[in-house]
Copies of this chain bind each other. A is one copy, B any other.
Amino acid sequence: MVTSDTALPSWNNCASHTAIIEFVQRVTSDGGADYVPPARRIAVFDNDGTLWCEQPAYAQLMFIIDRVRELVRDRPELARQPVVEHLRSGDLAGALNHGVTAVTDVLLQSHAGLTAEEFADDARAWLLSARHPERSVAFGDLVYLPMLELLDFLRANGFRVFVVTGGGVEFVRATSEEVYGIPPDDVIGSSVGLTFERREGRVELVRQPVLRGSPNEGEPKALNIQAHIGRRPILAAGNSSGDQEMLEYVQSGMLPSLCLLVDHDDAEREYRYAGRAITNPDAEPVLNVAARSDWTVVSMKNDWARIFSDQQGMQ
């Protein structure tokens, strides 16, 4: 077992650190009033902005942009669509001026027709090779080290850890095992529709340019946790309004619970911004919700001694 003395070395001695250690001790103390059996120790983590960096744009969006560039090389007429031209040139703000739906359409079209296995191979190859636009490191190196330590600490204490992402489930799964130690089936996310096709005697599941269900943000996060896991988690971590309902759901279970909200307040070592929901940009600021809900806010600036594995500590 990882003890509280050695766990979480990249965390400063602070209130959120204490809250985590105390919570895990409470629910694992056999015979204690708040003991939770291992089968019920389920933790759910948002991905973008909670486990890894989501600025200046989601990794998946960068992946799509690279794919759009490839597609335009083969079919230059595609670039006649203004939204495609903006994406191809990396002008996200310009692309979004055409509306979220127009961007989403390109996103859904960009990998339609690939089999599930072809897409997984593509996503994996991209994630292992692509570099962050503002830092000369691979996207996989922009995982928050304190969060990796937290995942390990929880698992060492009998927790099962799931990723619950607003991003595409197949994209995050492509490297979840090596980046987070989380197998693909423990990733819940937004999905595209697939069709069952027989091609030369083989069954292939082929990506369609449509979402399967709603994007996994807001209420759907709670609903999809139930659909996939079948039990209410006791720990949840998020960073945006899109995580609010998931945290409310976890907090209002009958078992003890801990809700963590990552605050991006470190302009120097990461980025400074308020975590918003894509599907509900006008939601109440999530830090306000956290304050009145008694969630544990994790200040990246004050609580984390290191953020990425390639940075020096700032103590």
For the complex, give the distance between the alpha carbons of A213 and B187 in Å.
Answer: 20
CB distance from A17 to the nearest CB of B (A): 27
Which chain B residues border A223 with CB–CB below 8 Å? 194, 196, 205
CB distance from A165 to the nearest CB of B (A): 13
Which chain B residues border A187 with CB–CB below 8 Å? 230
Query: What is the total number of residues of chain A having a CB less than 8 Å from a CB of chain B?
Result: 40
Q: A194-B223, A196-B222 are in contact. Are A184 and B229 (CB under 8 A)?
A: yes
> Which of A81-89, A245-253, A297-305 forms part of the interface with chain B?
A245-253
With both beta carbons as reference points, the residue of chain B lying nearest to A193 in the complex is identified as B223
CB of A203 within 8 A of CB of B170, answer no
Which chain B residues border A39 with CB–CB below 8 Å? 177, 183
Against B, the Cβ 8 Å flags (1 = close, 0 = not) of A169-194 are 11001000100000111110001001
Against B, the Cβ 8 Å flags (1 = close, 0 = not) of A197-215 are 0100111010000001100
Which chain B residues border A201 with CB–CB below 8 Å? 252
Name A's B-contacting residues (CB within 8 A).
Answer: 39, 116-117, 120, 160, 162, 169-170, 173, 177, 183-187, 191, 194, 196, 198, 201-203, 205, 212-213, 219, 222-223, 226-232, 245, 248-249, 252, 254
